[in-house]
């Protein structure tokens, strides 16, 4: 018969009960149990027993778990910190490497954290940002001006809808000065409400009501007006005739926004407003919805709407694949890469890359810490032994070493904060980002930083503290041989891991830098060096275009100027798509990018003429096609001289020449069909004065040109770009991201190498005696070196094999962003790996050299 009381509650009781009371209580319980077994049966008695035990959970009975040492906790804690400090001071090199590594690691992680946060924070500065949507389509960020009114009528979910039209940078006349507005916009009054712009001066309700109103942002107002000057009502003149009067001044738009606005004028009554074309993508349309969820309701009806609006069938629209959609503005900065974006947007993938870099760096730092700490621990065994003799338990030792780890991590974190604070301005410059140093003080960042410290502290301190506290008293206090076995698989794992990270980052850096290099040096199909473009605006535009021939002659006399041309856009500007077809063959019409220029354009740009000739005698419009356009027309024979038309502009004339393909946009995209239209009179279309100059004395040439242009239009700001700079600007995002990536990769690689160094130092030290014995028995130096490095050679080779497919995958992913990319060759994967391997071997040899070379008597003497 089983009339034993249940074991588990009894054990529980013994655990929590005050030992002074335990025996009596246990006795009482057992007595009652036995009585109940005979009265009420086994099962009931057992349940009673459990219940009684549970009811014993009360203050007088539970023992105090702090035990007797609870009283000393504070003093012990102080002692731990003191010992940690003394140890730090005693082994200055180790500790400084450790703290330095941790500081750099934490600083980089923190910086990346803030960077990612600031990227994610785009548009959050607008009060209603969650309810604001941009009306766009699959491929286009901008749509027709007519769209907004129709949408508002049909979609009751829309609270407000407004349009923005970007005028390109303009100069406006203010008094006698000409003021450069880089981001002037035509806007609907609703835009002010949708983005809840903050009015500093002027009437918020009627700021854009009158056709002559202009709203300035604060920074522009501060630039233009003297302090204390009357701002409201000030007159600005656009394009020589259109007069505007300041109606309001608003706070600058948040920096973390895809919209950058200098000034706004009413869109109502402008040609933009009256443009009827429904296919034209010209204005950005923003809608404020009543609720965020309404977006789905609208999108469900959007296809129907589009079909009615464009008067096409749904099937046609689906086949074309350019569907209307609502983009939450919060997502634009990181996900939208449509035609006609307001600015080059960033990409989610960069955030992932930065995030992984941050994690990598933290892991490397943690591993370093563990390695350094454990290798340092040889010196601490005696301390552990003494502490144990005096009565420290394992738990206390763990607590001590964790305290020490947290002491170091906490110190590093404080240093890291300072470092980040100092680094932010440089980082902003370096990566061309705008991070606010105040972010550091935001509660979320502080909380995350604290979490970071906790995680790093536990990861870094956890293993060493368990490892150290395990040593027995004897091991600690015995003099002479100290045998410390660092667990083999763990050590190998850590080495392999660091190695993989180092090789991965190095390979990626090599591939990324080669791709960037390729982009910068690829033949673009024209000679981009030595071409300078002067923006024509304001009075300068008027003077140059009115007296074009004179200007041309005058400019040719300046030293260094080879050729002069007028054109509508330059590389880096988005060219519009327009239809183009041959009169003879209208079914085969194509759409092509259009640029307008004078006959000197091809020569100035250094584009190669393939067929035909460009007539300088302007009797009518001539078209110059690039090879892609020519081949798409499927009319290779007799193309030159054929009558052709551009439907959109209703221009009719002939094809005069074919030029080779050249890259007019970034190398992300393939070369597209392109038409250079040479109109009879370029005047209205001219946007730039393009000049090819000698490489000889650029400075002098530029100042000569500038002087002349200034004399033509005094007061107009002269803005010019070198084409190679413009091309460089096409890759700003990549360049910036690459700069950051390269910087932090090298930090990670450096830290990883540091860690490997420290680890080998430890290993060699632990094996000094073995080496001495081997040497006495006749081993040569090279044999010893081989012995030390052999194990790692295999490990490292294995890591290389492991890392290659990983790198291949990611680099292919990244390269697929480019239409023109490098061929990745095998050595690009293998070489960096072997480079790191070589470094590791050098590290091994360097670290073990002293141990190997030293006289065995020194290492064996102390026994």
Residue placing its CB nearer to other proteins in the complex, 29 or 667: 29
Residue placing its CB nearer to other proteins in the complex, 30 or 268: 30
Task: For 580-637, give the DSSP string.
Answer: EEETTEEEEEEEEEEEEB-TTHHHHHTPPEEEE---SS-SS-EEEEEHHHHHHTT--T
SS3 track for 461-505? HHHHHHHHHCCCHHHHHCCCCCCCCCCHHHHHHHHHHHHHHHHHH
Residue placing its CB nearer to other proteins in the complex, 38 or 138: 38
For residue 130, give both structure tokens: 């969650």
The least CB distance from residue 131 to other proteins, in Å, is 59
The least CB distance from residue 33 to other proteins, in Å, is 9
- Residue 654 near residue 638, CB atoms below 8 Å: no
The least CB distance from residue 69 to other proteins, in Å, is 23
> How many helices and strands, by DSSP H and E, does the chain display?
29, 23
**Cα(396)–Cα(80) distance, rounded to whole angstroms?**
10
Best CA proximity match to 667, nearest among 821, 813, 531, 811: 821
Residue placing its CB nearer to other proteins in the complex, 30 or 239: 30
The least CB distance from residue 15 to other proteins, in Å, is 15
Residue placing its CB nearer to other proteins in the complex, 28 or 670: 28
**Cα(52)–Cα(50) distance, rounded to whole angstroms?**
5
Residue placing its CB nearer to other proteins in the complex, 25 or 437: 25
- Residue 310 near residue 278, CB atoms below 8 Å: yes
The least CB distance from residue 30 to other proteins, in Å, is 4
Q: 827 — alpha (psi -120 to 50), left (phi > 0) or beta?
A: alpha
Residue placing its CB nearer to other proteins in the complex, 59 or 395: 59
Report CA torsion sign: 689, 694, 698, 701. negative
Residue placing its CB nearer to other proteins in the complex, 31 or 770: 31
**Cα(155)–Cα(302) distance, rounded to whole angstroms?**
9
The least CB distance from residue 31 to other proteins, in Å, is 5
For residue 124, give both structure tokens: 């959050």
- Residue 400 near residue 788, CB atoms below 8 Å: no
The least CB distance from residue 23 to other proteins, in Å, is 5
Burial class (CB within 10 angstroms; exposed 0-12, middle 13-18, buried 19+) of 852: buried
Residue placing its CB nearer to other proteins in the complex, 27 or 425: 27
The least CB distance from residue 44 to other proteins, in Å, is 15
The least CB distance from residue 14 to other proteins, in Å, is 12
Measured from the Cβ of residue 664, the count of other Cβ atoms closer than 10 Å reads 23
Residue placing its CB nearer to other proteins in the complex, 41 or 451: 41
- Residue 510 near residue 828, CB atoms below 8 Å: yes
Side by side, the strands of the sheet bearing 688-693 are: 561-567, 688-693, 531-535, 720-722
Residue placing its CB nearer to other proteins in the complex, 37 or 398: 37
The least CB distance from residue 60 to other proteins, in Å, is 4
The least CB distance from residue 359 to other proteins, in Å, is 51
For residue 194, give both structure tokens: 């949708």
Measured from the Cβ of residue 325, the count of other Cβ atoms closer than 10 Å reads 17
Residue placing its CB nearer to other proteins in the complex, 8 or 378: 8
Chain positions contacting other proteins, by CB under 8 A: 21, 23-32, 34, 52, 55-61
Residue placing its CB nearer to other proteins in the complex, 34 or 517: 34
**Alpha carbon of residue 44 to chain centroid:** 67
The least CB distance from residue 68 to other proteins, in Å, is 18
Element (H, E) at 83: helix 73-90
Coil, helix or strand at residue 173: strand
CA distances 76 to 383, 398, 461, 477, 857, Å, are 14, 13, 18, 22, 42
Residue placing its CB nearer to other proteins in the complex, 3 or 669: 3
Residue placing its CB nearer to other proteins in the complex, 58 or 616: 58
Q: 250 — alpha (psi -120 to 50), left (phi > 0) or beta?
A: beta
The least CB distance from residue 20 to other proteins, in Å, is 9
**Cα(329)–Cα(124) distance, rounded to whole angstroms?**
9
Q: Calculate ∠ Cα 634-637-642, nearest 5°.
A: 85
The residue behind tokens 């990549």 is 734
DSSP label of 143: B
The residue behind tokens 């759409």 is 591
- Residue 826 near residue 507, CB atoms below 8 Å: no
Measured from the Cβ of residue 31, the count of other Cβ atoms closer than 10 Å reads 10
The least CB distance from residue 53 to other proteins, in Å, is 8
The least CB distance from residue 35 to other proteins, in Å, is 8
Residue placing its CB nearer to other proteins in the complex, 61 or 477: 61
Residue placing its CB nearer to other proteins in the complex, 57 or 69: 57
- Residue 623 near residue 677, CB atoms below 8 Å: yes
Best CA proximity match to 595, nearest among 678, 719, 690, 530: 678
The least CB distance from residue 18 to other proteins, in Å, is 8
The least CB distance from residue 73 to other proteins, in Å, is 25
- Residue 272 near residue 145, CB atoms below 8 Å: yes
The least CB distance from residue 368 to other proteins, in Å, is 53
Burial class (CB within 10 angstroms; exposed 0-12, middle 13-18, buried 19+) of 59: exposed
**Cα(621)–Cα(606) distance, rounded to whole angstroms?**
21
Residue placing its CB nearer to other proteins in the complex, 28 or 343: 28
């Amino acid at each position: 018969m089983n009339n034993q009381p249940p074991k588990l509650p009894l054990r529980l009781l013994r655990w929590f009960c005050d030992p002074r009371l335990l025996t009596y209580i246990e006795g009482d319980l057992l007595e009652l149990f036995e009585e109940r077994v005979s009265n009420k049966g086994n099962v009931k008695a057992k349940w009673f027993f459990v219940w009684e035990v549970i009811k014993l959970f009360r203050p007088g009975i539970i023992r105090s778990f702090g035990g007797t040492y609870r009283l000393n906790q504070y003093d012990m804690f102080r002692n731990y910190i003191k010992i940690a400090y003394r140890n730090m001071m005693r082994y200055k090199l180790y500790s400084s490497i450790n703290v330095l590594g941790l500081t750099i690691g934490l600083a980089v992680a923190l910086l990346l954290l803030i960077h990612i946060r600031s990227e994610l924070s785009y548009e959050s500065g607008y009060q209603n940002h969650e309810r604001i949507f941009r009306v766009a389509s699959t491929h286009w960020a901008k749509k027709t001006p007519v769209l907004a009114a129709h949408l508002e009528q049909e979609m009751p979910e829309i609270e407000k809808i407004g349009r923005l039209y970007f005028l390109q940078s303009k100069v406006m006349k203010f008094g006698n000065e000409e003021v450069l507005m880089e981001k002037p916009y035509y806007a609907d009054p609703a835009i002010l409400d949708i983005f809840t712009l903050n009015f500093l001066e002027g009437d918020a309700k009627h700021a854009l009501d009158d056709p002559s109103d202009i709203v300035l942002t604060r920074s522009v107002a501060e630039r233009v007006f003297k302090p204390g000057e009357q701002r409201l009502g000030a007159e600005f003149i656009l394009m020589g005739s259109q007069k505007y009067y300041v109606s309001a001044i608003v706070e600058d738009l948040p920096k973390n926004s895809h919209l950058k606005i200098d000034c706004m004028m009413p869109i109502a009554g402008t040609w933009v407003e009256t443009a009827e074309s429904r296919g034209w993508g010209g204005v950005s349309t923003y809608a404020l919805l009543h609720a965020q969820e309404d977006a789905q309701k609208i999108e469900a009806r959007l296809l129907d709407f589009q079909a009615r609006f464009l008067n096409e069938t749904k099937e046609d629209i689906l086949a074309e694949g350019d569907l209307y959609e609502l983009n939450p503005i919060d997502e634009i900065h990181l996900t939208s890469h449509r035609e006609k974006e307001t600015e080059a947007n960033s990409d989610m993938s960069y955030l992932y890359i930065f995030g992984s870099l941050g994690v990598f760096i933290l892991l490397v730092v943690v591993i370093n810490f563990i390695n350094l700490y454990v290798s340092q621990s040889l010196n601490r065994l005696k301390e552990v032994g003494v502490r144990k003799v005096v009565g420290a338990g394992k738990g206390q030792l763990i607590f001590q070493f964790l305290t020490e780890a947290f002491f170091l991590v906490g110190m590093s974190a404080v240093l890291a904060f300072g470092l980040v604070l100092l680094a932010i301005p440089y980082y902003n410059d370096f990566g061309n980002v705008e991070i606010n140093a105040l972010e550091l003080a935001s509660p979320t960042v502080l909380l995350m930083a604290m979490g970071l410290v906790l995680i790093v502290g536990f990861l870094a301190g956890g293993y060493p503290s368990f490892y150290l506290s395990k040593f027995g008293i004897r091991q600690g206090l015995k003099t002479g041989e100290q045998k410390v076995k660092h667990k083999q698989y763990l050590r190998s794992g850590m080495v392999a891991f660091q190695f993989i990270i180092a090789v991965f980052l190095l390979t990626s850096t090599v591939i990324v830098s080669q791709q960037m290099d390729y982009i910068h040096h690829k033949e673009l199909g024209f000679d981009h060096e030595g071409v300078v473009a002067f923006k024509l605006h304001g009075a300068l535009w008027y003077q140059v275009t009115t007296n074009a021939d004179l200007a041309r002659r005058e400019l040719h006399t300046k030293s260094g100027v080879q050729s002069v041309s007028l054109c509508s856009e330059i590389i880096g500007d988005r060219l519009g798509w327009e239809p183009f077809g041959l009169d003879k063959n209208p079914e085969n019409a194509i759409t092509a990018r259009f640029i307008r220029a004078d006959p000197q354009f091809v020569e100035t740009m250094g584009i190669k003429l393939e067929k035909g000739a460009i007539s300088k005698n302007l009797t009518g419009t001539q078209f110059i096609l690039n090879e892609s356009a020519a081949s798409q027309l499927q009319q290779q024979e007799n193309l030159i001289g054929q009558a052709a038309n551009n439907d959109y502009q209703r221009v009719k004339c002939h094809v005069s020449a074919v030029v080779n393909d050249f890259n007019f946009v970034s190398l992300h995209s393939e070369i597209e069909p392109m038409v250079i239209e040479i109109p009879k009179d370029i005047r209205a279309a001219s946007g730039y004065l393009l000049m090819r100059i000698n490489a000889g004395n650029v400075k002098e040439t530029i100042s000569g040109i500038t002087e002349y242009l200034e004399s033509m239009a005094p007061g107009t700001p002269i803005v010019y770009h070198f084409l190679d700079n413009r091309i460089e600007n096409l890759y700003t995002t990549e360049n910036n991201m690459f700069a950051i990536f390269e910087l932090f990769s090298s930090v990670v690689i450096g830290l990883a190498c540091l860690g490997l160094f420290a680890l080998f130092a430890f290993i060699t030290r632990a094996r000094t005696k073995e080496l001495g014995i081997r040497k006495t028995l006749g081993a040569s130096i090279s044999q010893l070196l081989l012995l030390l490095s052999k194990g790692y050679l295999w490990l490292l080779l294995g890591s290389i094999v492991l890392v290659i497919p990983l790198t291949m995958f990611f680099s292919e992913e990244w390269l697929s962003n480019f239409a023109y990319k490098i061929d990745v060759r095998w050595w690009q994967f293998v070489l960096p790996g072997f480079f790191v391997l070589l470094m590791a071997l050098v590290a091994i040899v360097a670290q073990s050299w002293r141990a190997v070379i030293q006289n065995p008597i020194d290492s064996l003497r102390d026994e």
